[in-house]
Structure formats: C-alpha cells, structure tokens
Amino acid sequence: MDARSAGSQNGDRMVTRPVPADWLGQRRRADHQAREKAAPLLETLLDRLHALLPAAADSTTASASVHVIDVGAGTGSNQAWLAPRLSVPQHWTLLDHDADLLEVAAEDPAAAGPIQTTRVLGTIEDLPGMTQGDAVELVTCSALLDLLSPREAELLADSIAGSIAGSGVNHVAALLSLTVTGAVEISPGHTDDAVIAQAFDAHQRRDGLLGPDAAGTVAQLLRERGAEVTLIGTDWTLDAGDAALIRRYLSDRADVAVEHDPSLAGPAQEWLAAREEQLDRGELEVTVGHLDLLSLPGTSTR
C-alpha cells in the first residue's frame, strides 16, 4: 500500500543537498552486505519491539504495530533491507527532502507488498511531530548522519530520546545505519592516500557538518538523554567483484578532495589514474569504515 503526503516544505522542493539516484542504486548491494554485520543490533531491537507492542495494544490511542520513520529515505534502500527483517507488524513513513528520490522509491519493486508506506516530502524539521503520542515508533536512517549539522543532530536526538530539559519520548527506538567514520583503507597503498583522505574528510566537515564525527556525536547526544546506545562496525569490504562501485567511489573521492583544495588537482588526477590502473588489473581492495547505531529507550526516558 502506498500514500503520499507533504511535510513542511511550503511548496518548495527543498533539495538542499541533492544525492544522485544512480549513486544510491550503485551502492545498494554493498550497503546491504555491510548491514548483515549488524545482526546483533537487529536481534536486540526486535526483542525490545516485541516487548513494547503488547503495551501499545493495551492503549486506546495506539495500534499494535510499529511505525517506522525512515529519515532521508532516498530511493528506499533502507526499507528494502530492513522491512523484511522486522518480524513485527509495521507501517512506514519515508521522509526525504528530494521529491525525485521519493518517486524512484515508489517505483522500486522491493517496495511492493502488504506494508503500508507513506512518502512525505519534508526534512528532519518534520521529525518531532512524527514521534509524539503512544505509538511504538522506530526512527531509522541509512548513510545520513554525516550530512547533518550539529543543530540537526540535536533535533534528531530530541525526537528519539526527548530533550535533556524536557519530558521523554515514549516508545521510540532508533536504528541509524551506515554512518561513515573516515577510516578508509585502500590496498595496496599509495603515497598520496593520506593527503587525499585529509582533504576529503575536511570537505565532509564543511560548513560545520558532522562528517566523520557523526556517529560518535549522535551517540553522545542520545546517551545524554538517557538512551541505551550500542555501536557496531558495518564496513564496506570491496574487491575486484565491486569494480564499478570502487571506480565511482575513488573518482568521487578525488573530485571532493579537489573541490576542498584546488591545489590538489594534479596530484588527485595522478592518484586516480594509478588507482584505476590497479583496479583494471584486479589488484585493489577497499575498506570503507561505517558504523550502525542502535538506540533504545532507557529507564530515564520512559
């Protein structure tokens, strides 16, 4: 089942940080493989959701299903991976600021099925209004936290675990997946790996964005609000079988480094050419660090 709605866009498209749909599609397989490493988090989450649902069923205002809110849902990759693994009744809200990506999500065959899905054009500013009341709610996202500003991270933490000064949020868990850590290993090594990495990470922190610090920052914000937080590594591990993704990743990495520091144009071009030659020979292996974060309501937030 499918429905569409609108958030606080006031008629604007709100594509403030557009992400190409083809990139999201190209990385989907690597994302899904990496997320299998977070199986212990999913098991813990399901135990908590099964415990929360009977209490919700006793409420006169909540139905016995989990409302899953996918923030920055993009083309629906997160729903495609997570929904079949949630062994509980569920309905989804896909929230994204890019109408084009939501349209791609609606056309994805993986989105077909009995789960009710509402697609909302909006931003993280709309999230607090979605995590109110007595429903059992799960806030989730994939590859989003590094794109947040400190203020947006505070808003996310407040929506999940309640503000530090205010009352807690009932029944809100969170599974925040595939946040980059800045740890990238490319084998064999290259003399310019470090300078490219430094420029790339600096660009990820541009304009005060959290970048590679995101997982640790959000984890601390949630803990300050009394949530029980667990982190687990979900690195991409890429080899010759992922040649197309590696090529795109390295090309984008070089472009971003040059965007941050134009003086790197020559070295980045030479670095990329050398890496592509190694890739063509089947020599490259790439590990890209990611973390998955599980947040559960703590006793101080209930």
| Tokens 């005060």 sit on residue | 208
- Answer whether residue 247 is part of any domain: no
**pLDDT given for residue 135 in this prediction:** 82
- Tell me the per-residue pLDDT of 188-236, one tens digit each, with 9 for 90 and over: 999 999 999 999 999 999 999 999 999 999 999 999 999 999 999 999 9
**pLDDT given for residue 7 in this prediction:** 57
**pLDDT given for residue 112 in this prediction:** 52
Compute the distance between CA of residue 27 and CA of residue 8 in angstroms, rounded to an integer. 29
Residue 247: what are its φ and ψ, rounded to 5°?
Answer: -60, -45
CB 20 within 8 A of CB 232: no
In terms of Cα–Cα distance, which of 255, 267, 265, 181 is closest to 218?
Answer: 181
| The pLDDT of residue 258 is above 60 | yes
| The pLDDT of residue 8 is above 60 | no
| Concatenated DSSP letters of the chain | -EEEEE-S-TT----SS---HHHHHHHHHHHHHHHGGGHHHHHHHHHHHHHHHHHHHT-SS--SSEEEEEET-TTSHHHHHHGGG--S-EEEEEEES-HHHHHHHHH-GGG-SSSEEEEEE--GGGHHHHS-SSSEEEEEEES-GGG--HHHHHHHHHHHH--SSSPPPTTEEEEEEEEEEEEEEEES--TTHHHHHHHHHHHHTGGG--GGGHHHHHHHHHHHTT-EEEEEE--EEE-GGGHHHHHHHHHHHHHHHHHH-GGGHHHHHHHHHHHHHHHHTT--EEEEEEEEEEEE--GGG-
**pLDDT given for residue 145 in this prediction:** 97
Q: Which domain holds residue 161?
A: 2-180+210-236+290-301
- Tell me the per-residue pLDDT of 31-74, one tens digit each, with 9 for 90 and over: 999 999 999 999 999 999 998 887 655 554 445 789 999 999 99
**pLDDT given for residue 110 in this prediction:** 57
Using DSSP bridges, classify how beta strands 116-121 and 2-6 pair: parallel, antiparallel or unpaired: parallel
CB 262 within 8 A of CB 61: no
- Answer whether residue 86 is part of any domain: yes
The CA distances from residue 149 to 138, 163, 178, 211, 256, in Å, are: 22, 17, 17, 9, 19
**pLDDT given for residue 209 in this prediction:** 96
pLDDT averaged over every residue in the chain: 88
Q: Name residue 71's beta-bridge partners.
A: 95
Using DSSP bridges, classify how beta strands 285-296 and 228-233 pair: parallel, antiparallel or unpaired: antiparallel
- Answer whether residue 79 is part of any domain: yes
- Answer whether residue 272 is part of any domain: no
Tokens of 215: 């997982």
- Answer whether residue 276 is part of any domain: no
- Answer whether residue 69 is part of any domain: yes
- Answer whether residue 258 is part of any domain: no
In terms of Cα–Cα distance, which of 35, 36, 68 is closest to 49?
Answer: 68
Q: How many domains, the chain?
A: 1
| Cβ partners under 8 Å of residue 285, min gap 6 | 186, 187, 237, 238, 239
Instruction: Out of 48-52, 134-138, 205-209, 259-263, pick the least confident.
Output: 134-138
- Answer whether residue 255 is part of any domain: no
**CATH code (residue 93):** 3.40.50.150
Compute the distance between CA of residue 109 and CA of residue 76 in angstroms, rounded to an integer. 10
In terms of Cα–Cα distance, which of 121, 126, 105 is closest to 15?
Answer: 121
| The pLDDT of residue 167 is above 70 | no
| The pLDDT of residue 301 is above 60 | no
CB 171 within 8 A of CB 50: no
More confident residue, 30 or 3: 30
pLDDT interval class at 169 (50, 70, 90)? low
**pLDDT given for residue 12 in this prediction:** 43
Mean pLDDT of 66-93: 94
